[in-house]
Each structure stands twice: as structure tokens, then as C-alpha cells.
Chains A and B, each alone.
Chain A
Amino acid sequence: MSDQKLVNLTIEGRPVSVPEGTTILEAAKTAGVLIPHYCYHPGLKIAGVCRMCLVEVEKMPKLAPSCATTVGEGQVVHVYSQKALDARKGVLELLLINHPLDCPICDQAGECELQDYTFQEGRADSRYREPKRFNPAEDFGGDVLYVTNRCILCTRCVRYMGDVAGDRALCVEERGDRAHIGIAPDHDLSHPWAANVVDLCPVGALVSKDFLNKARAWELDRTASVCPNCSQGCNITLETRDANVVRMKPRTNTAVNQFYLCDEGRLNYQWINRDDRLEVPVVAGKPATWEQALAAAGAALKGGAAHVVAHGSLSNEALWLLKQAAGTGTFRVASGAEAPLPGVPDLALRADRTPNATGAELLGFRRADQPLAGAGRVVVIAGDDLGGLDTAALSGATAVIALCTVLPKGLPSGAIVLPIANFAEEEGTFTNLRGRVQRFLQARPAPGHARASWSVLSDLAAAAGKKGGYGSAEAVFAAMAATETAFGGMSYDSIGLRGQASATAGVNA
């Protein structure tokens, strides 16, 4: 930073200093002024076509598109001068003349920049007396539906697909007011990262088929989280309605996923809401109280060394407490094809389809294809559903303790089963494949008597005669950071909502 030349200018009367080459639009953000815009997006090449971000710059003969105009020393910028306001009002009027104004049935309503800026700066009435243009909606494939009539031709989707996704599937077809977004012959939006165009679209022209007509934007609660579907650790917002996750959206983090989330990640959320969950502890096939179940499990653990089967979907906190209560062990990792997003360095749908394999490894757990192999008399299964495993290995066990969200098939009848929350129902951290530790927050309540995994394991450790009794995930993390070098020096405060590179696995984190 020190050798970067700073440019001083005034925006809406506020002095601003920004690095040379910054656009007026970005400079204005640092002054707390959001200049209305549509075609500009920080992740995309500049198009300068919507002409919404016009501002008045003293000594410039014409209004300047602030997205495409770099700052100059001593510039005086007026965002809300009458001239600039009139120009933007004109743009808004023109964007709306052929717009269907179908906000009541549009999924974008409530989070629509056309709505927002019209409310903020647009005309209250329309002078347009002609019939509106009509074009039919088109299924673009993948998860994307194109509602042509709502399109404002900002071309964010075209630029994203061509420049970031590296698949020139979209283009502007036709000219004049007949123009619309076209899809190239033999193409569709089945690219593994294509659904980002839905988020990029500032209006309701590109909508998610999965989310279509499901909920209104203002009914949703939003929680900062981390995508649990692979080891990339894309930052997400979990959007819930009546405590059900209805949508997963990327949450901007320039160090991990920039503005994006892959289709597989964003569309794989239904399992979070599944209603066949385990809601009470079970001991030997009968419902039990937590006290009974934990006492039985503690007694079993005191009986000898345990064979531990962990899972990469457990948080760092849960895995560390598991290690305290029963020792380390093995875990298996589901894998799939890797799918990179070409325009963003080191961003891909990763082969490891689990969020915390790195965390598990840093805490001493080892990968194994058959984690049940060699199981002894006391077995602890945390997080794994045993699907596809030969549970005959459990036949010799005298005690099996399972911490799970749904009852695994193949558990011996005498097993002690402890219901735990899934990642959306508790707080914790995951460590992504580059060793970046990232927090996720609780978005919905756990069903029935199920409890946060760290809480259950904290009690289990205590029941086994180890240190337990932690009051929060944060306290667990603090204790872990004090003993595990990989997490040394870190805390929930230092991690924040953007994550922090692990002390020992810090390459490219």
C-alpha cells in the first residue's frame, strides 16, 4: 500500500483519498455514498452501458458514468445534483416503460435494484402511452429461467458467463428495443457455476427455478454461514422461512469465493430441512433422557479405548471434543468431480464433498475408506450415517455410541444414540482445504431434543471423566486454540465472519 499513489477528491462534500485508478463509483463507496448502478459489478469487466451511475463532475462538460471514470486529483463530484438526479430519473423512466411492473408476482421483489432505485430517485408516474413490448419467458437450462420482459440488458450475465465462467453461452441478441439476452445454439446454463447469473441479475429477469414462487424476499431470515457441500468453504447466507432453509446465496468473501457459489453447492440444501430426524436420545432401542443416555455412554467410554469414526461434516469444535472424549480415529470422505470457476483463482467445487476434512486432519483424524474396519469393543460413531458400510464389523462391540442427525441403518440394537444438530442448527467453525478457519452461525432450531454437537460432546467428555462443561461453541474454540497449534492464536473475534488462515496450514488460505 505504501508505494501506491493516493488521489484526493471530494464526493458529495466529503474528502476522499483512494488509490490511483479507482473508479468514482468505488471511491464514493468509501465516502458512504452508493451511486445507483445496474451494469457495474465489482467482479465483472466494466461495460458502462446502463448509464444509471451518471454523476456530475465539476469541470467535465458532460455527466460522467462513475463506473467507468477514474478518479482525478482535486475532482469535485456531485452525486445528487439536480443534473445528475434528472439524468438518472430519465434512465429509470426508460427502464420502466417496457417493464411489466409485475412486482407482486416477481421473485426479485424486495431485493430488486429497479424497485429500490425507482423508489429512491424515479418518477411517481409514467408518461408512456404506447403498448408495452412483450416477449415470452425462456428456460435457459440449469436452474435459470429468463423472464425477458423484466430484463434491463445490463449484460452482467453475459459478461459473467463469458469472462468468469469461461462459457460464452449468453449474448445480446437483436438491436434497439428488440434486444434481449440470447442463448447460443446448443448451449444452456448447465455450467456448474451458471446459477450465479441469478444473483448477479439486478432485477427479476433471471430467476431460480428452484426458488420460483417459493417465498417473498422480505419474509426470509438471513444467517451468515459456510457452504457444507465441499471443502472449498464458500461463504454463504442461509435464507430461512419459518425455520426452513429455502435458499442458499453466496456471501461475498474475496479471499475464498468472491461473489460466487456453485450450482451443486447452492441447490443441495433440502437435506437440512428433512423431517425424519432423530429427536430424542435412544438407548437399546428405547427413548431415553439425555441424563440416562449420557450416563450410559460415559460408562461405556470408561470401559476401554474406543474405536472412533468421525465425519468431515462435524465442526472443528465437535471434532476436538470428540478427541477429548474418546480419542482420534478415522473418517471417510465422499468425493466427486472437481469443477473450477475459471475466472477466479483457486475457486472450485472440490473433489472432497465435505466441509471440514482439513479440520479433521489437523486435529489428528485420518481418512479411511472403511472406517469401521478393525472396530473393537467400544465404538463411537460421530456424524457418519454408515451408508454403504459393512456394519458386520460392529458385531463384536460391547458398546456402540452414535451421535447423529438421523438414525443410521445397521446400528446394533443395543446402541446408545445421541441426537445432534446439523450445521445450520448450531454454531461452529470449518477449516477449508487451504486451512482457512471460518465460522458459521445458527440459522434454525434443532428438532426435538437434539442438541448442538459441541454441547453433546462436551457433556459426553464430562461423563467419560474428561474436562467438559463448556457453555458455548466459542468457549470450546478458545480451549481448542489453547492446546492445538493449528488453531493457535485464533478466536471467534479474530476469525469474524470472513475467516482466518490457520497458523499451520496457511498456504493460500
Chain B
Amino acid sequence: MGYPHKSHPRETPILSKHFGDPEARTLEGWKARGGYKALAQALATDPVAIQNLVKESGLRGRGGAGFPTGLKWSFMKLGDGKPHYLCCNADESEPGTFKDREIMRWTPHALIEGCAIASHAIGAETCYIYIRGEFTEPIAVMEAALAEARAAGVIGDNAMGSGKKINIWVHRGAGAYICGEETALMNSIEGRRGNPRIKPPFPAVAGLFGMPTTINNVETLAAVPHILNNGPEWYKAMCLSSPKSNGSKLFSVCGNVARPGNYEVVMGFSFKEFLYDVCGGPLPGRKFKAIIPGGSSVPVITIEEAEQVKMDYEGFMEFGTMLGSGGVIIFDDAQSMPKQLARLARFYAHESCAQCTQCREGTAWMTKILERIVAGQGTFEDLDTIFELTESMTGKTICVLSDSCGAPVTSGITRFRGEFESLITGKRSSTVAVG
């Protein structure tokens, strides 16, 4: 549901069904709403069977990359004698994304249940939920729920009396965007500087503390109990377009829109109807101009393109952008795109971990050029430089932060070149609405 707004009838509230309901936060309340049945069933099931079930459901990673979850779990070599780890990525730092925050705030036990099932499925006895430090309320809610679950024996050395050991701990981040990158996240848990690691080795081979590790997003894990309760066919059938995108997806909507918030729709939902109907359309007297549909790292598209999109992994790719994390950032006709994109670039420059040359220097240079253009000091050569710089920064670094800085900027220049050019020629100033 669109918490804090009322649920829209065209939503499919599965993960968000209990948002805004304080009773769902407690163990009793959660059990009363059907909670922990899936875990009990899972603990009595062979891990490989659970992996296969999730594979069949078509569930894909909700953190941004969209990697098939069941397949990821099957990379963990069961019975290899090594400790396995599950990391739940709750670092949700992508600008424009705040769906995991609501899952943790309102349905902490849904996440705990998902973590416990996944831990069992990959042979892990320890799970770390890595929550960004700024999420003070979700951290408190998660800690309280974990304490309750531990006290009741739902998790612990004998989870639900099954004899299986599943311990779940909250690890609090310290405010670095890069710690949402899975290998940086593992370094951070280990007490190291949050720098992404070179791959290979992949986490399933050598991850946390050098041991086989799986990293899943909050929303991915929270969906798992529902899949076990209702069956993989039920989940797979939730699909309005591409057969490769299944289930429901939470979209965090922010920016210049009548009803910002979290909305849960089935994969393949019409983006046009989502924007104008579910989210209430633009603010009075304004028009939508541009959309970043999947968190700030994905290319920006025009509203005309957005209106044709089917909201699934493939649908967004068709228009040169990505579903990403589902963080929809909406710009209306009162916004200056150069100014907005300069602000985004500044974010990446600030958050670059400084390992790779292209990212450390490139994101900062990109920001300086954009801010100079916004200040009316730009040249046409600057636009060419940005494209060449983006080429230098893309596909050449350890992680994709560098790529993520270039993608919204170059896509924005391609689509809104006029706004950049009028700033360069001095016809407009960025403080006045452009477009």
C-alpha cells in the first residue's frame, strides 16, 4: 500500500499488506496474520527442495540486479564443511529508494522469517541483517522483533524446535552508500573499510570471513515466506507481461508527484497508469517531465517514454533504463534537469570509495563540469567531455558506482540536451524553470 497514503485498489498488497498496522510488528500479531507457518514448513523440508521451489517461482533479486534468487542459493555448496553465511542487504541507500525501510518498520517478522528460511536453504547458521545507520527506527523495530523471536525460540540454537541452528543479528552500517554493494557490505561487517572486493572469487565461494555467503535484498527475502505459503505457481502467475518477471514489486515513489509513497504492483503493470492513477499524477498545474525509474543509478527517461513502459525487468530495459531497486524519482516541468543531474553526480562523487581511479577522479570531475554548466560557465565541449568521461568510467571498475554516475547524466543530456545548451548559451538560468 502507498503508506502513508491509503492503499490504491489497483495495488496487489502482499509485502505491504500490513504497512501501518502496529500489531503486525509483534510476534503474536505476526503469527495471527499467518506468520512463521512457512518457516515451520521450511525447517522440515530439504534445503535443495526449497532452492528449487524458489527457482520455480521466478523470484529475482529486488535489490537492483534482478538475479534469479533460487539460482543464487543453489551456488552454495551444501555440506562442504565450511560455515555458510547469509547477509541480508538492508543498507538501502540508493537515492529514491525506501521500500526496505517500510518492510522493516512494519513487518520485521516477515524479514526475519525470510532470513531464517533462506539461511536453512543455503545451509547457513548465521545471518547478518546489514541495516544502514540512518535507519534508526527500522533498526529499533528489527532489534525488538529479533529479541522477541529469539526469546520465543523461533530463531536461535534450536529454531522452532527443529534442532536447526539459525542465529540472526543486526549489523548497523555507518552511513556509506558503497556499503550497499555486496562485497563492500561484507568488508564492513568484518570491520574493514567498506571497499568493494575484486570478483572472482564470488561470495558463494569466498564471501564473509572468506566463507561461502549469499547476499539477498530485504524485499527478496520478505517475499520468500509468501512463496512457500502459496506455492511457486501462485507467484509465477503474478505477471502481466514478460514471463521472466514474476511476482509483486514495491515501488518507492518520490519527487514531483501528488501522492509519493510505496506502492506494490504486479510485475508488468502499466507505468502510465501507475504514475497517473496509482500515484495520483502530477502536482496541480504541473506536468511530468522526466523519470528515473529504478533508483538514482539508472538512466533517466522522458515521460513520453515512461508512458509506454511495462513495469518489469525487461520492460524498463526496452527503453534503455532499468527496473533497478524500484525507486521512482519523478521530475516535473518546474525542474532544471542539469541542476538535478549535477546534484546526483555530486552524490556519487561524495560516495565513491576511492579505490578505482576512474570512479574516484571521474565522479568528482563530472560533478565539477555539471556544476559549472549549471552556474552558466559551461561550454559545448564540456558536453562532449562528459560523454567521453562516461565512456572512461563505464565497465572498467571493480563495482558499478562509477557506471552509476555516468548513466543518469549521459541519458539526461541525450534526452534534455536543449536544457544544457540553453544554460551554455546563456539563454536560460538554472534558477528559472526550464522546459
* Residues of chain A whose beta carbon lies under 8 Å from any beta carbon of chain B: 46-52, 54, 62-63, 65, 68, 86-87, 90-91, 93-95, 97-98, 127-130, 152-153, 155, 171-172, 174-179
Contacts and interface: CB of A to CB of B under 8 A. Distances in A.
B400 to A, nearest CB: 11
A128 B365 contact: yes
A312 to B, nearest CB: 46
B365 A94 contact: yes
Interface in B124-148: none
B40 interface: no
A353 B433 CA distance: 77
27 contacts: A47-B355, A48-B198, A49-B398, A50-B357, A51-B356, A51-B358, A51-B396, A54-B396, A86-B392, A87-B396, A90-B358, A90-B391, A90-B393, A90-B396, A91-B396, A94-B361, A94-B365, A95-B361, A129-B369, A130-B368, A130-B369, A130-B372, A175-B176, A176-B351, A176-B352, A177-B349, A179-B360
B391 A177 contact: no
Q: Which of B350, B360, B398 has the most CB of A within 10 A?
A: B360
B372 A95 contact: no
B362 interface: yes
A52 B372 CA distance: 29
Question: Which one of A93, A98, A172, A176 has the highest number of Cβ atoms from chain B below 10 Å of its Cβ?
Answer: A176
A418 to B, nearest CB: 59
Contact of A176 (B193, B350, B396): B350
Contacts of B360: 94, 153, 176-177, 179
B118 interface: no
A114 to B, nearest CB: 11
A48 B354 contact: no
Contacts of A153: 354-355, 357, 360
B107 interface: no
The 7 A-B pairs with the shortest beta carbon distances in the complex, nearest first, are A90-B392, A179-B354, A177-B364, A94-B361, A49-B355, A48-B198, A130-B368
B186 interface: no
A435 B369 CA distance: 62
A152 to B, nearest CB: 7
A330 to B, nearest CB: 55
B358 A175 contact: no
B51 interface: no
Nearest to A62: B395
Contacts of A90: 358, 389, 391-393, 396
B353 A175 contact: yes
A94 B353 contact: no
Given A175-B352, A176-B349, A176-B363, A95 B357 contact: yes
A70 B410 CA distance: 34
A91 B358 contact: yes
Interface string B192-209: 010000100000000000
A171 B193 contact: yes
Contact of A62 (B178, B355, B356, B396): B396
A52 B397 CA distance: 10
Nearest to A154: B357
B361 A65 contact: no
Interface string B150-185: 000000000000000000000000001010000000
B425 interface: no
B242 interface: no
B41 interface: no
A51 B198 contact: no
B385 interface: yes
B357 A94 contact: yes
A55 to B, nearest CB: 12
B198 A65 contact: yes
Given A62-B395, A94-B357, A174-B354, 8 more contacts: A51-B396, A63-B396, A90-B358, A130-B365, A152-B357, A153-B354, A171-B193, A177-B354
A52 B357 contact: yes
Contacts of A171: 193
A48 B355 CA distance: 9
A177 B382 CA distance: 20
B170 to A, nearest CB: 24
Nearest to B194: A175
Interface string B371-402: 01000000001100100010111011110000
Candidate in B178, B351, B352, B382 with the most chain A CB atoms within 10 angstroms: B352
Contacts of A177: 349, 352, 354, 360-361, 363-364
A22 B381 CA distance: 43
Nearest to B176: A175
Contacts of A155: 355
Given A68-B198, A93-B392, A153-B360, A176 B365 contact: no
Given A51-B356, A51-B357, A176 B364 contact: yes
B357 A91 contact: yes
Contacts of B361: 94-95, 97-98, 177
Contacts of B389: 90
A94 B362 contact: yes
A152 B198 CA distance: 19
Contacts of A93: 392
Interface centre among B354, B361, B368 (most CB of A within 10 A): B361
Contacts of A97: 361, 365
- Residue with the highest number of chain A CB atoms closer than 10 Å, among B362, B381, B396: B396
Contacts of B193: 171-172
A94 B392 contact: yes
A175 B350 contact: yes
Nearest to A175: B354
Contact of B392 (A49, A52, A87, A176): A87
A321 B411 CA distance: 80
A410 to B, nearest CB: 59
A51 B399 CA distance: 12
Nearest to B362: A94
A65 B198 CA distance: 10
Contacts of B364: 176-177
A94 B391 CA distance: 12
Contact of B198 (A46, A91, A127, A179): A46
Nearest to B363: A176
Most B-side CB within 10 Å, residue of A62, A90, A128: A90
Contacts of B352: 175-177
Nearest to B350: A176
Contacts of A47: 198, 355
Contacts of A63: 395-396
A228 B393 CA distance: 49
A171 B191 CA distance: 14
A51 B66 CA distance: 27
B173 to A, nearest CB: 14
A62 B391 CA distance: 13
A127 B364 CA distance: 14
A127 to B, nearest CB: 5
Contacts of B382: 129
B358 A94 contact: yes
A175 B351 contact: yes
A176 B362 CA distance: 9
Contacts of B357: 49-52, 91, 94-95, 152-153
Contacts of B396: 51, 54, 62-63, 87, 90-91
Nearest to A67: B198
A63 B395 CA distance: 8
A46 B356 CA distance: 13
A129 B357 CA distance: 19
Nearest to A99: B361
Contacts of A86: 391-392
Contact of A127 (B355, B372, B385): B385
Contacts of B356: 49-51
Contacts of B358: 51, 90-91, 94
A339 B102 CA distance: 57
A152 B356 CA distance: 10
A51 B397 contact: yes
Contacts of A130: 365, 368-369, 372
B371 to A, nearest CB: 9
